[in-house]
Each structure stands twice: as structure tokens, then as C-alpha cells.
Structure 1
Amino acid sequence: MSVFSLSQAIASLTSTLKQLEIHQYGEPIIQLSVPVAPLPSIAWLASQSCYPKVYWRGRDTQEEVAAVGSCKDFAFEDAVDDNQLCAAYQQQRALSSNPEIRYYGGVAFDRNTDCWPEYGRAHFILPRIELRRSGNNYSLLINLNIEINDIECERQIALDALQQLSPPVPLSAPNKIHLLSRSDRPNQRRWRELVNQVTQDKFIQDTPKVVLSRLTQLEVNEKVDPWMLLASWQGRNQNSFQFGFQFSPDSAYISCTPERLYRRRQRELFTEALAGTTTRGLNEEEDAQLAKALLDDCKNSHENQLVRQHIVDALTPLSNYVGADELAKVFKLSHIQHLHRAIRAELKPGVNDFQILLALHPTPAVGGLPRDSAINFIRQREGYTRGWYAGACGYFNKYESEFAVAIRSALIEPGRINLFAGAGIVAGSEADAEWGELENKLATILSILTEV
């Protein structure tokens, strides 16, 4: 099969669009695709003038997507119950039998509270144009939606979108950001109060884990390129999920997160318990010692075991089989390392992605146990709106889906960078040590922002 340059790929899709006959497909969502020579995906995305922009790179799937424009979306800004979300999800899946049709988006941490404008409590889009990489193979795709528009209208919109595409321009090198100020919510004094409340014997007897988090706001006097920042972050943590959503020029949410919520291939499901944290060592010997201490630490092992058991219990009603690692392993990132247990399930026939999302999200690794009482405490006491932080972000199609838990993440706004970090509070947790863990979790992104 011939591989086209970007300009040749655009010309080929343009020619196909002009000759397109709707009866060839018989479905309201149509996708056209041509192979294209390798392109730097994030640089290509940053060079485009069209919104929204979406980026996705799997942790261990050799897959990368950069996408622009919206062919179809469904978003919920206001209060929504799970039945509405499930109905919207099923409606989208029914529009095409093509397994390559993908919706990208996210679900907020807490769908019962107000969320960030544009992102909402849930927001998924079918992009107009996608650049996809699978291994070393790249494709340029364009999607058409004739559910609402007629074919001639969609054809012209698609042709115009192709003509607006720009070649990639190299990303600028990261420069040191001049920070005007930093504020933390909750601040350290309030953090101590919250940790002390959670670790009281009477509270922790009924709610053995609450994941408290902190919003760190950096005020800046310059424009921050979210895609340059994500590319730099990506270079530091290759074994993480990387994704970004920019629905308009003024706001972008990016993440370089280690935690998988789940990956589904037909009825096969993969998920994990990722909880329990320590730092990295300055050399191999110290690193190994810290890893061993993490494995032997009762507080961290208990926290990971709570997460593992909850996920197994949540999946059991949906599955014919659920298996989980008995022993934890160490998952290493650039500045920290986590305890990790892999979990696999064989889903029952007919179980869909939204049932899985409802069962697993938010996990005890970002909310707590029992889920409802932990989230109620977070909602009432934490002091800020998490939005998509600790939410579920990813994609779904007819037969396959993947979602990550958005823990290492940043919301970029004009004049402000919002950073997020959390820590699981269980019996034995100490407030100042957990505050230090928050700092460790921000170390990578802060080093990118403040280095020369």
C-alpha cells in the first residue's frame, strides 16, 4: 500500500470526498482513511487552528492519536443522571458498525457537582479529522455525520476542514516560566485539619480511606503552550498515559498519568490497583531500598489491598471471571514509585462501557472507601471543584475502549496553571508526610515549568 505525504493524503481524501456516494455506506457516520508518512503528532496538533483539539497516547499499546474539529459530540454541563448518560452513550455506539469510529472524552470525578465550563460532567466528541499512529503506521482519517446534516452539507464541511490543515511546525523549546505567585487549596494548615478528621478512630471505622487532594494554582504573566508542556512531560514519563483536551483557545486540560481505569477488548477487560507511593532513589541501590521499603510498608500495602478488593468486588457482578495479582509489584515513574496489582476480567455478554465506568469510577485510589461516604466528605470539605481531575478520560468504539484516571494533570487557563495532586488517607497517615507526597507528585511538572 502506498504511503502518502501529508499534502498527498489531503488530496486523496479530497478526491474521495468529491466522489462519495452515501448508498455505499448505509450508516449515518462515515469514515474515510488513507495511510500517511510519519508526522510528529503533538507538533502537528499544535499547528492547527481548528478546535476542539484532542490528543491521546496509550501507556503500553503503541498507539497515538491527534485530532481536530468535531463531527459529533455529546456533552452534559448541568445535572445529569446516569440513565441519561448511558442512553446517550448507547445512542452514539448505534450510529455505526465501523469499529474504527471513536469517541474521545471524559467523565468528571463527581458528576453530582458543578464542573468546569466546556468540559462539563461528561463530554465526548467524534473528531472531524484524526491523525492516528499504530506502531510505526500512520493514517489520516476524516469523519462525516449525516445523521443531522445532508450529505452535500457534510461533504463541504469536510472539504473545508481538510483545506484548513497545516503542516507541523516544530514545538518551541520549554522556557522557564516566571511565576507571579502560588496558592494551595486546601493550604497546609487546613490539610492537617482534614487529615486529622479522617484519621479519627470513629470516622475511620466507617470510612477506612479518603483520598484528599490539593489544587495548586500558579499565577503567570505569559502564555503557556499546553502542547509544548505535554510533550515535555511526555519525555519525562514515557510509561504513562498522555492525553489532552482543548475545546477552545482559552483552556486546555493535559495529563501524563500512570493509572489505567480499564482497557476493554470485546469482553476481555484489564484494570489495576495503583495505590501506595514513595520517592525514587538518587542511585540504583537507594532506589531498590526505597522500593523494598514500599513493598514492606503496612500502611501502603493496606491502601493498595483496599483498592484491589474494591475493584474485584465491583467487577464480579459484571463478569464471568475476575482474577487479581495476590502480590503487589513496584511501578516506577521519574520522581516516584507506586504499588501495583494487575486485574483481569472476562465480562458477561452484553455488558457495555458505561456499566464498567459506573462500576469502577471513581476508584478507591482517587475517592476512597466506602465510595459514597468518602466522596461526600470530599465534596463538603476539600474546598474546590475537582472537575476532570481524578476523572476518567479516554475513548470508546464498537468493540474496544480504554480509559485512564486523570491524576497527574494540569488545567491551563489565561494567566494561570492549575495543578492537582492527591494522597490516600488511611489509619496511620500523618498529615505532614502526606503533604510531602503531594509535593513529590508535582515534582516532574514543576521541574519542567521552572527549569531554564
Structure 2
Amino acid sequence: MPTIAWLASQPCYPRIYWRGRDTQEEVAAIGSCKDFIFEDAVDDNQLSLAYQQQRALSTNQDIRYYGGVAFDRDTDCWPEYGKAHFVLPRLELRRSGHDYKLVINLNIENEEIEQERQNALQALQQLASPSPLSPPNKIHLLSRSDRPDHRRWTELVNQVTHEKFIKQTPKVVLSRLTQLEINEKVDPWMLLASWQGRNQNSFQFGFQFSPDSAFISCTPERLYRRRQRELFTEALAGTTTRGLNEEEDAMLAQQLLDDSKNSHENQLVRKHIVDALTPLSNYVGADESPKVFKLSHIQHLHRAIRAELKGGVNDFQILQALHPTPAVGGLPKESAINFIRQREGYTRGWYAGACGYFNKHESEFAVAIRSALIEPGRINLFAGAGIVSGSEADAEWHELENKLATILSILTEV
């Protein structure tokens, strides 16, 4: 029985799913042993302090806090998700290859050990036997709306590519919210499992804090992975489609490598990440030339980056330095995000945020692109495109459609 089916069968919340892009590990977690959420205004020092307090509570390498940080912590964020929300689950089912492990967490900060034991036993007694996921059904689409719409999108791209603006802000990643109004219930875990089947070489994760809302993502982009003081990250920017056959696919990949606009975009991201990590690191190294990273419908330019962190550098300092990356925000970071905040026309919430887990010894965060927010009667889909000198509105709009192609095909196929 798939781990994700076990998760979907459980009666309690939150439900959390995590699968790394290039690891054998898969995690399904339920309930909350410890939960901290920032819904109101939060400054980075406050968040860092809360983070450090949690991180210092135990050196046990099995203890992990799962959660996310919104794209923009200076704007209103989605209810339940907040500007930052991390959970130490009550129970975790972890699979590594063919080996399974059940992790039970106890919160003994207040020394109510017996009560915590009872809480854990109760959670175990409430576990439900897993049922197979329902097969995906074609949704009956009542309506679709895009924000910004095509006319407004064209205006925004023209504003960003205007000679005066782009001289000061050479890149802005504009995004679009596509809302699908439906009249049936969609199982987010069935949807994520289907998505996972199409894009095996992606991070797959989901957060369902209550029955009415679930955020799922099948994203190719790593924010970073840390093991002790060793850090791995990447520049993933520049996009084209996949070919209909091997020959066309190889031709499109070569065109992507040769394209000056996409190469420039990837190089901007690489430089920013190296510059951001340098003060925190003894060493930073990055691929000089990009490679092509292939997904089911699209392919990206990719450069690997590795750093050796200085002693005492913590995950929150890394998050502050890297998030949001120029691949989802722009350059310079502040002016690009200000433009997005004022002009894009909707709240990104956890779309393009940082989602993952941390503990004292290791952590991993992905960038939540290729994501969906499932609500009663509505599916919210997100896609973005990097706007730089030479970008054309219609071509970038078409890129948004390509980025939604996989999830839309799952939703609308019989």
C-alpha cells in the first residue's frame, strides 16, 4: 500500500507528506505534537528566535519540524498556513526503499510525561487501516479565471521590460493565479500521487492543516539541502518545452543552452546565490556552465552550487539569505518583490515559498513552484515566468500554460 494512501486514510489533522527529489525517503505524518505558526506581522528576529528555541530542544536526529515559509512575509498570507508554520508531528511513517519506520514524538517541555504518553497511545489507537486512493476522475469545470488576466499580464510585462525600469531591476518573476471553479470534491492526495507519477524527479509534498484546505506541490526546484555544515543548492531558471521525439527534444535542449535570454536569466540567479552564501560560508563553488534538467512537459537550465558553511550558521540564516530566490522573485530582491507586491494583484501565500523540514543535523527545503491550493469548490493553480530584457508578453503567457500542462492534464483527462 503506498505511503500516500495510508496518509489519505487517516482521520486526524494535520496531514503532511514529504518526498525528496533525489532520495529514497518518503514521509507521511499526522497530528501535532508541537505547532508554531506566525499569522500576523513577524520580523525575522522573532522568527529566528522561535526557530532556534525549537532546534535547541533536542539533538535526536529523528526529530523533524515540517512546514513552510510564505513567499512574502510582509503581506497578508493564507489562513492556517500563515507567514510561517512548522509542525512536529505526533506520528510519522517513514519509508526508505523497502524499509518502514514509525516515529512517535512526545513533547515533554512542560514535563507532563504521562499525559504525553496517553496522547501518543490515543493517536496510535485512532490509526485507520489504509484504503487504496480513488482513481482520478475528470473534473467538471464550471469556470476558469486568471489573475492577472492576459490584458493585465501584457501591461505588467511591458512595464518590467521598459528601458528605465529594467535598468534598475533587471529581472522580475511575474506569476499568475489560475482559479478553476468546480462542483465536486477533489482528493488532494490522489491528485498529488497522480502528479508524482508524471514527474518522478521532483520534490513532492503536501500540507493539509484541516479538511477544507490542502496545499500540494510537485516542484523541480531545491532551495537547499544541508547536512551538518555542507550545503547543496542550485540555480534553476530558463525554460523551454519538451520535444515530441528524442531528436526534437535534443534540439530544443540545445536551443535552450544557446539562448542568450535564458542563459542570462540563469546566470543572474547563479551569481545572486553565490553572493548571498559567501558571507555565511568558508567555500562556495558553482557549475560554470548550465546543464538541462528535464521534466514531463518542460526542461530548465540548471547549475549545481555547493557550500561549506561557517561554524554556527543556522538554517534560518540560510533561509534569510536564499529565500525568495531570484528564480521566483527577481533582482535586486527588494525592488522586484515590491513590484510584485504592488502590481501582481493576488496573494501568493505559500506559492513560491520555502517548504521542507529541519532538525539540528540536517534540513531540506524546496521552492514551492508547480503547486496547487485545493479548497471547497475551487482549485487554485500557480505559475510564474522570469521577465528580463527581451521578454515578450505572449511568449511568457504561453510559458505559464506549459507549466500548468501536467496538472491540467491530470484534472481534465478521463
2:179 aligned with 1:217, yes or no?
yes
Letter in 1 for 2:186: V
Task: Name the structure 1 match of 2:210.
Answer: 248
% identity of equivalent residues? 87
CA distance in 2, matches of 1:396, 1:82: 17
Shift of 1:149: 5.9
Task: Name the structure 1 match of 2:20.
Answer: 58
2:300 aligned with 1:335, yes or no?
no
2:254 aligned with 1:292, yes or no?
yes
Equivalent residue for 2:219, pick from 241, 244, 257: 257
User: What SS does the corresponding residue of 2:128 show, helix, strand or coil?
Assistant: coil
CA distance in 2, matches of 1:328, 1:354: 28
Equivalent residue for 1:312, pick from 264, 274, 282: 274
Task: Name the structure 2 match of 1:302.
Answer: 264
Letter in 2 for 1:200: H
2:164 aligned with 1:226, yes or no?
no
Task: Name the structure 2 match of 1:86.
Answer: 48
CA distance in 2, matches of 1:445, 1:113: 27
CA distance in 2, matches of 1:223, 1:149: 42
Task: Name the structure 2 match of 1:119.
Answer: 81
Task: Name the structure 1 match of 2:239.
Answer: 277
Letter in 1 for 2:220: P
Shift of 1:366: 0.1
CA distance in 2, matches of 1:240, 1:63: 13
Task: Name the structure 2 match of 1:193.
Answer: 155
User: What SS does the corresponding residue of 1:293 show, helix, strand or coil?
Assistant: helix
Deviations along 1:83-130, whole A, 9 cap, x unmatched? 000000000011111011000000000000000000000000000000
Task: Name the structure 1 match of 2:342.
Answer: 380
Equivalent residue for 1:413, pick from 375, 378, 398: 375
User: What SS does the corresponding residue of 1:393 show, helix, strand or coil?
Assistant: strand
2:86 aligned with 1:128, yes or no?
no
Task: Name the structure 2 match of 1:76.
Answer: 38
Task: Name the structure 2 match of 1:344.
Answer: 306
Shift of 1:180: 0.2
Q: How many positions carry a matched residue from both structures? A: 414
Task: Name the structure 2 match of 1:404.
Answer: 366
User: What SS does the corresponding residue of 2:139 show, helix, strand or coil?
Assistant: coil
CA distance in 2, matches of 1:82, 1:73: 18
Shift of 1:148: 2.9
CA distance in 1, matches of 2:111, 2:216: 32
Deviations along 1:323-362, whole A, 9 cap, x unmatched? 0000000000000000000000000000000000000000
Task: Name the structure 2 match of 1:434.
Answer: 396
CA distance in 2, matches of 1:205, 1:226: 43
Shift of 1:230: 0.2
Deviations along 1:194-238, whole A, 9 cap, x unmatched? 000000010000000000000000000000000000000000000
- Which structure has the larger Rg over C-alpha atoms? 1
Normalised by the size of structure 2, how large is the TM-score? 0.99
Q: CA RMSD in A?
A: 0.6
Letter in 2 for 1:256: C
Shift of 1:368: 0.1
User: What SS does the corresponding residue of 1:417 show, helix, strand or coil?
Assistant: strand
Deviations along 1:61-101, whole A, 9 cap, x unmatched? 11110000000011100000000000000000111110110
> Which runs of 5 or more residues in structure 2 are unaligned?
none
CA distance in 1, matches of 2:33, 2:110: 11
Equivalent residue for 1:151, pick from 100, 103, 113: 113
> Which runs of 5 or more residues in structure 1 are unaligned?
1-38
CA distance in 1, matches of 2:3, 2:292: 31
User: What SS does the corresponding residue of 2:240 show, helix, strand or coil?
Assistant: strand
Task: Name the structure 2 match of 1:35.
Answer: none
User: What SS does the corresponding residue of 1:145 show, helix, strand or coil?
Assistant: coil
User: What SS does the corresponding residue of 2:176 show, helix, strand or coil?
Assistant: strand
